[in-house]
A and B are shown apart, each in its own frame.
Chain A
Amino acid sequence: EADIYQTPRYLVIGTGKKITLECSQTMGHDKMYWYQQDPGMELHLIHYSYGVNSTEKGDLSSESTVSRIRTEHFPLTLESARPSHTSQYLCASSDPGQGTNTIYFGEGSWLTVV
């Protein structure tokens, strides 16, 4: 079972509010990711990190930002939420094993912006 945790699981906030989605993993993985997924749709990579102080933008343009100050922690922040940000956000981390790379997901954070 994957030891990767996301909070909050569900959140409803007003337009213009700042929100941080938390993600922590206890597996010692260097690589971490944030994906955005609308219901029944495919995953879109919005940010990833290869380790402490490393952050990169993914394939899908996003107004969010991320930081990686500690290996186990990869928070995602929206400075000013808009209704178009309503979606499920999935945090993930991957196993750096030689030839056995596997990606594990958190339970997701459902964000609704009203």
Chain B
Amino acid sequence: GQQLNQSPQSMFIQEGEDVSMNCTSSSIFNTWLWYKQDPGEGPVLLIALYKAGELTSNGRLTAQFGITRKDSFLNISASIPSDVGIYFCAGQRAGNQFYFGTGTSLTVIP
């Protein structure tokens, strides 16, 4: 199925640094979702976005639904070691199945 273009593929950052990652698509989406997946576990929903331009926060996490409806961004401020994991985006067009990004692997160096 269609994959969303997610970047970067991996990140190695120092504890305390901010992190940014994004997903883009050639298609318009009505919903953008961001998940974190720890090794051996299922994805956990972090933030859900339903309107173009919407900016939503969840603690140190902030995500935005791009105004063109073809992209979304996730920012993590002041990273901590427990932020380590794989982050991936998901998008959905009206009435259709969900499409997933290829994931961003985040490593936080204490």
Using A103-B90, A103-B98 as known contacts, say yes or no to A110 and B40 having CB atoms under 8 A apart.
Answer: yes
Chain B interface, >50% SS class: strand
Which residues on the A side are within 8 Å of B44 (C-beta)? 105
Show 25 A/B contacts (Cβ-Cβ < 8 Å), sorted by A.
A6-B42, A42-B101, A42-B102, A42-B103, A43-B100, A44-B1, A59-B1, A88-B40, A94-B98, A99-B30, A99-B50, A100-B31, A100-B48, A101-B31, A102-B31, A102-B45, A102-B48, A103-B90, A103-B98, A105-B35, A105-B43, A105-B44, A108-B40, A108-B42, A110-B40
Which residues on the B side are within 8 Å of A44 (C-beta)? 1
Which residues on the B side are within 8 Å of A104 (C-beta)? 45
Per the bound structure, the CA–CA distance linking A39 and B108 in Å amounts to 20
Chain A interface (Cβ within 8 Å of chain B)? 2, 6, 33, 39-40, 42-45, 48, 58-59, 88, 90, 94, 99-108, 110
Using A101-B92, A103-B90 as known contacts, say yes or no to A42 and B31 having CB atoms under 8 A apart.
Answer: no
Complex contact A2–B50 (CB within 8 A): no
Chain B interface (Cβ within 8 Å of chain A)? 1, 3, 30-31, 33, 35, 39-45, 48, 50, 86, 88, 90, 92, 97-98, 100-103, 105
Known A40-B103, A45-B97; 19 more pairs at CB < 8 Å:
A6-B42, A33-B97, A33-B98, A39-B39, A44-B1, A45-B1, A58-B1, A59-B1, A90-B42, A94-B98, A102-B33, A102-B45, A102-B48, A103-B45, A103-B90, A103-B98, A105-B45, A107-B42, A108-B42
Per the bound structure, the CA–CA distance linking A40 and B43 in Å amounts to 12
Which one, A58, A59, A99, A105, contacts B42 given CB within 8 A?
Answer: A105
Complex contact A40–B105 (CB within 8 A): yes
Complex contact B100–A42 (CB within 8 A): yes
Which residues on the B side are within 8 Å of A40 (C-beta)? 86, 103, 105
Per the bound structure, the CA–CA distance linking A113 and B40 in Å amounts to 17
Per the bound structure, the CA–CA distance linking A34 and B40 in Å amounts to 16
* Chain A: minimal CB distance from B47 (Å): 10
